[in-house]
Amino acid sequence: MMDETLRAEIEDYMSRRSRNPNSLPPATISVRGYVHVPGRGAENIPPELLRLNPGKYQLTLANIPYRVAVVDQGDERYVMLFNEMRQRQREELFLIYLVAGALIMTLVSAAIGWWLAGRVVAPVATLARRVDKARPEDEVPDVAKGFSSDEIGKLARVFDGYLRRMRAFMDRERAFTADVSHELRTPLAIIQGAVELMEEDDSLDEKQQKRIARVGRAARQMIDLTAALLLMAREKTSDEPVEQECDVCDVVRDVVEAHRYLVSATTNVEIDYRSRPRISAERTLLSIVIANLIRNAFTYTESGSVFIQVDDNCLTVTDTGRGIHEEEIGKVFQRHFKGSTSTGAGIGLSLVKRICDRYGWETVIDSTEGRGTAAQLFFIGNS
């Protein structure tokens, strides 16, 4: 919290100073700031602070502990101090109030609890039922309807206020998602359209055509990823329309063809459709999951084979590629985790896990470094 306060104070002072070079740094009981400009003197800055490099420190000045943040901007050096003693005093005072408040409430509750028990049970049960049925998307919350002005009524009105804030938050989130959707999809659509026009240009040589094809693949992947992220940003509710069924084999076939350019000349790809499962899911999200597993197999298999098998409730992708280190297996689904041989950004398998959690699927990865990897996608939620 102190570091956040220092950061906010420094940013605020930098902003004020950019507008008014004569603006003075903060000088309160808790926060004190300095700015040092070479050639203008530093008589008002404690010498201990002038020796500090940019960063965060803990120092004691005049027997007072401070949390210190030092930031350089151009030739200017900004130093901000936070009085830790004041913070500790506030924390101790808050703890005293908290303990005293808890003790007082316990004593009062014990003294009058027997008298209130009978009168409280029925209103609480009613409130619980209403809260259980209430939804943030309701136009006008009515949890407090019919309650008196006693404690239960106040609690009910608090729930109403909370639901209103939740509704406002959801409205802002929907508006944000819609705006982001427009701002992302429009330039991607323009790129995709430009690529399609250039692909029809017969005057381009083979090297240029390959580069354009690469841009087109990247644009299509970004379009799919954007759609997936926007879908994942929406809360899945029970009253949403039933999603159409997807043919897993069709998705696998499309994904393999779209990523075949990643297959090396010495790698053999074999697909075994033992079954033709159909599952209820957004095709874009299913394609994202399957594409991640297949793309990883194609990318990290420099020679050997990639075997793809589709069963009733399972998709298995086995390769003879680099494999994954034993210590990294348990981390591959963590966001932004990159293995020692990874060339990606560490988002793919994290997104796979989020999509699987949404539908109740399960992804299992078994790998031996230097020998290959087997990834299995179980459609448990659709069995």
Cα separation, 188 vs 34, whole angstroms: 47
Predicted local distance difference test score (pLDDT) of residue 218? 78
For range 105-125, the mean pLDDT: 76
Crossing angle for the helix pair 248-258 and 283-299, nearest 10 degrees?
Answer: 50
Could you tell me which residues come within 8 angstroms of residue 54 by beta carbon, excluding any fewer than 6 positions away? 70, 71, 72, 77
Of 348 and 291, more confident: 291
Helix ranges (H only) for the chain are 2-19, 47-50, 84-133, 151-199, 206-233, 248-258, 283-299, 348-359
Confidence bin at 240 (pLDDT 50/70/90):
low
Predicted local distance difference test score (pLDDT) of residue 345? 47
For range 311-327, the mean pLDDT: 90
Q: Strand 314-319 relative to strand 304-310: parallel, antiparallel, unpaired?
A: antiparallel
- Model confidence over 263-296: pLDDT tens digits? 999 999 999 999 999 999 888 889 999 999 999 9
- Model confidence over 354-375: pLDDT tens digits? 889 888 999 999 988 888 999 9
Least trusted range by pLDDT, from 97-106, 130-139, 298-307: 130-139
Mean of per-residue pLDDT scores for the chain: 82
Least trusted range by pLDDT, from 131-135, 163-167, 192-196, 302-306: 131-135
Of all residues in the chain, the percent with pLDDT exceeding 90 is 20
Cα separation, 379 vs 383, whole angstroms: 6
Q: Strand 362-368 relative to strand 314-319: parallel, antiparallel, unpaired?
A: unpaired
pTM over 0.85: no
Most confident of 166-170, 201-205, 219-223, 361-365: 361-365
- 69-74 long-range Cβ contacts below 8 angstroms, 24+ apart: 69/3, 69/6, 69/7, 69/10, 71/10, 71/14, 73/14
Of 25 and 348, more confident: 25
- Model confidence over 173-215: pLDDT tens digits? 777 767 766 677 778 888 888 888 888 888 888 888 888 888 8
What is the secondary structure of 1-29 as a DSSP string?
A: -HHHHHHHHHHHHHHHHHH-TTPPPPB-S
Predicted local distance difference test score (pLDDT) of residue 90? 79
Predicted local distance difference test score (pLDDT) of residue 338? 67
Cα separation, 267 vs 306, whole angstroms: 7
